[in-house]
Amino acid sequence: MDNTSKSKFVLLTGGAGYIGSHTIIPLIESGYEVVVIDNLFNACKGEGEKPVSILQVEKLTGKQVTFYAIDLLDYILLSEVFDKHEFCCVIHFAGLKYSNESCNIPLNYYKVNVCGSINLFQVMMEHNVKRLVFSSSSTVYSEPHFLPITELHPVGQSLVNVYDKSKYYIEGIIQDLCNSDKEWFVIILRYFNSVGAHSSGTLGEDPNGTPSNLMPYVAQVAVGKIQSLNVFGKHCSTIDGTGVRDYIHIMDLAEGHVSALEKMQKSNDSGAIAINLSTGNGYSVLQVINMFSQVSKQEIKYEIVDCPNGYCDSSYCDASFAKEYLGWEAKRTLKEMCEDTWRWLSLYPQGFSTTT
């Protein structure tokens, strides 16, 4: 089926969040009409009905974004959104995302992430929208069996928290859905540690919970919200004894979603395809700290402590399939990740709750 003639309306679930809001910008720049649904659980509310992140996107793009404050668990309201718009594709970001929290409230995570996704897929089927980009995670790989991690790496083995399991289960549901109906085409994006902010400094990560990776913690030390960091190290088999992880700039990640969408619009492919999105380069904790200190001109205090049991020394991906299949590759450097994070926090030290 040729999709080039279809509507250019795209639905973003969880589009007011960190990754979703940044993805709106290149979507609009590529000529798409964006519709966002979000339950505002992890977003700062602005004046009127729209969250601050969406208002900031509208300022940056000069375009209005259609927004609905609804939850994926509300089947009726979700279906009404599909009644109002003819979507060419859905980009599915919505879900709870904190690993440690997920183990304390597992039913909440399964209900919101898994049941919410099932609701979405059912409504999509009823409205004959069978193209989906799913926001998955590198955590489905668990501890790496080999490096760099390719898409052929085993998934679902020894997953340690409910968040990771929920992503893995949703991937399985998607595979079953595609096996049952050959009209479905789903690109599953497994990305690593998303960091940074829009280069304007007016849009960045504003979580209401605990930061999900190293960079926000380093930034909070730089602005004085945290006194110092505990750095797992001493005995890791890495360049400096501290853990190595793969980081990707949020705008590279956002552009990766647009590349996936463009592939769907032009391709007759079907089924589910998993793709790694990241730089393919690993940076140690100390390399990140030193770069952020250099960029911010702030001292980042830290203490080296023993690694906990089960701590993974290194995790980074092979991103070559994304370049081959999507024509996409990450372009921004670690320095740019730090610079844009610092610019954002310099303008909004308390996130979107900062008075402007």
**Residues with catalytic annotation?**
163
List, in order, residues 6 or more apart from 81 with CB less than 8 Å away.
11, 35, 37, 68, 70
Q: CA dihedral defined by 96, 140, 330, 299, rounded to 10 degrees?
A: 70
Cα(200)–Cα(94) distance, integer angstroms: 25
List, in order, residues 6 or more apart from 151 with CB less than 8 Å away.
190, 274, 275, 276, 321
At residue 262, the 3 state secondary structure works out as: helix
Cα(156)–Cα(338) distance, integer angstroms: 32
Cα(71)–Cα(135) distance, integer angstroms: 17
Q: Is the dihedral of CA 266, 90, 329, 252 positive or negative?
A: positive
CA distances from 198 to 250, 251, 273, 346, 350 (A): 8, 7, 28, 13, 16
Q: What is the residue-wise DSSP string for 64-133?
A: --EEE---TT-HHHHHHHHHH--EEEEEE--S---HHHHHHSHHHHIIIIIIHHHHHHHHHHHTT--EEE
For residue 10, give both structure tokens. 């795209």
Cα(223)–Cα(123) distance, integer angstroms: 44
Cα(247)–Cα(97) distance, integer angstroms: 17
